Every structure is written in C-alpha cells, then in structure tokens.
Amino acid sequence: MVKGSAPHVLSFINLKGGVGKTTTAVAVAEILAHELKQRVLLIDLDPQTNATVNLITEEAWDELDREGRTIAQLFSDKINHHLPPRFDIERSIVRGVSTINGGIRSLDLLPSSIRLIDLQDLIPTIAMAGNYTVNPRDILRIALQPVIDRYDYVIIDCPPSLGTVTKNGLNISGGYVIPTIPDIVSTWGIYQIVEKVRQFAEEVNQPIEPLGIVATKVQGNNLHQRVMTDLSHRRLGKFAESDVAQPRFFKNTISQSVAVARGADPEADLRTFNGKYGNPACEQLLRLTLEIHELCRAKVR
C-alpha cells in the first residue's frame, strides 16, 4: 500500500453475543501487525472492554479511563458539549499493544470504557440537545481524521448491537466480517445484519461490503457440519429464499479450543501466538487473516 493512502477499515459485527467477535478481531489485528507487518489500529467500541483488556493491562486501562483517554470520553464530550472537551485522540491511542512479545510495535489501540454503557443511549439525542454541528454517527469519523492515514488497517470490535456506537464504526468501514458459531441460534440474525448494514450504507451513501462470515468455536458435531455446509453453499436460512446474497463463507474456520477460551486468563502464557491461541486455532487464525488480507488487497477500502 502506498504510504499515506486510506486504510482498510473493517468492523467485526454480529447481533449475537459471545460468538467470538472480540477474539477474532484481536487475533486478526495482532497477526496483521506482527506477521504481515501492517500498521494496525484496533478500535474497541464495546463497553464490555474485552478487546481493551485483552491488549493492555487492567492497571493501564484504569489510568487511561480516569484521565478520559477512552472512546467513552469522545462521546461524553459531544453529549456534554457545554463543557470544555477532554478527549484528545493522540493521548488516547495506546501504541505497541498486545500481550505477545511484550507488545507488537505496529499495533495500536483506541480503548473503550464501561462508562460507555450509560452514555450510549444519550448519543442519538446529541443533535436534539442543540449541538447541531455534529451528526451523532459522524463522531468517530471526525475524531480519527488526524490519525487514520497512519494505518494500513483499522479493525473495529463492535458490541452485539446495531446502535449508534456500532453505526459510528460502520460509518468509517469499507467492509465488515461476521463471526458466528455455526449453529441455528447464532446464525439467526445474520440476514438482518446484512440487510441493516445495506440500508445504512445507502443512507450514508458509501459502500460497506460484507467481506464474509467466519465460523468460530467450531465443534465436530452434525449441527455445526450442517450449518457450515449451508454457509459454504451460500444458502443459509433466509438467504436461501430471498434475493439478498449471502456473504461469502471464509474457507478457514476456528475450532472450539481450551487455549482460546483461556485467552483472558492471566495464568496462561500469552507471550507467544502459540501460547495465546494454541493449536489448531493459532494456525487457523493465521490462515483466516491471510484470507482477509488477500480480499482487502483485491478490493475493500
């Protein structure tokens, strides 16, 4: 990629909770940065702060949070626009994050905060509160303008919803990835996501391409096999009966494994890819990242 050109911006999204969005987003960001030497910014949009505390220590996060150096402060400034703004993008981006190798030099993090829980319902009211200068869905886009061209990739870990915070992420995304457990309940909402994002893309008048669906926590049972067969034939559930095309199903899937489940366990050795993700997930995540990288280089901005 030519230096200074626009990065590939990808949201990891699913309305269903606990399907591996954060795990996949963090691992893809780490692999892009460490193995593929890309300059990566991971944005944590989820008030659960799972991606944040995966990549930095809780102590480090605590200090950032107290000093208003998280995404919550960005939204808080817009809600409380009568107060002097505190958010500073340069001071909020944490450089060289990850447990791997004591930090990956080209991986940066824009952290989240649990404070976002109370704020997120107020964000849509910003315009009504008299702050007409900013559209609520443009807050993140405007804040990132001074830094975004430093990166080859921006990876966004979204909460399991399509609220205004997620829309701020989609609004800067050229594409999105849908992690899902290959079972009936987890794949139920995928059609709705594709439809809703298509509508949103129309509204903001820019392409937001469904890059693909990735199967996570895969177990060798019949149900998982059946759902993955449907996914690979692009005939998942409602897609089979409608004109809406099912997004591609990534060839590389991520197995259910104890090592990945231990990811947040401070007792685990998280200093190497193998220690953090174990086998076979380490290799699977690497191959998935290569698949995503190839697709992005071929098209998605």
Pairwise CA distance, residues 252 & 246, whole Å: 17
Give the nearest distance from C-beta 20 to ligand ATP in angstroms.
Answer: 4
Give residue 276's Cα distance to chain centre: 19
Give the nearest distance from C-beta 56 to ligand ATP in angstroms.
Answer: 16
Q: Binding to ligand ATP by residue 124, rule CB under 6 A?
A: no
How many residues lie near ligand ATP (CB under 6 A)? 20
Q: 280 preceded by cis ω (within 30°)?
A: yes
Mark residues 181-220: x for contact with ligand ATP by CB under 6 A, - for none. -----------------------------------xx---
For residue 165, give the H/E element and its range: helix 164-170
For the chain, list the strands marked E by DSSP: 8-12, 40-44, 107-110, 153-157, 175-180, 209-215
Query: 236: number of CA atoms within 13 Å, CB side?
Result: 29
Q: Binding to ligand ATP by residue 115, rule CB under 6 A?
A: no
Which of 9, 13, 19, 45 is the binder for ligand ATP (CB under 6 A)?
19
Q: Binding to ligand ATP by residue 47, rule CB under 6 A?
A: no
Q: Binding to ligand ATP by residue 46, rule CB under 6 A?
A: yes
Q: Binding to ligand ATP by residue 276, rule CB under 6 A?
A: no
89, amino acid identity: I
- CB closer to Mg ion, 20 vs 278: 20
Both tokens assigned to 97 = 């994050």
Contact by Cβ (8 Å): 73, 87: yes
- Which span (63-71, 134-142, 251-259, 266-274) binds ligand ATP, by CB under 6 A? 251-259
Residues of the shown chain interacting with ligand ATP in the complex, contacts defined by CB under 6 A: 17-23, 46, 48, 50, 160, 216-217, 254, 256-257, 260-261, 263, 281
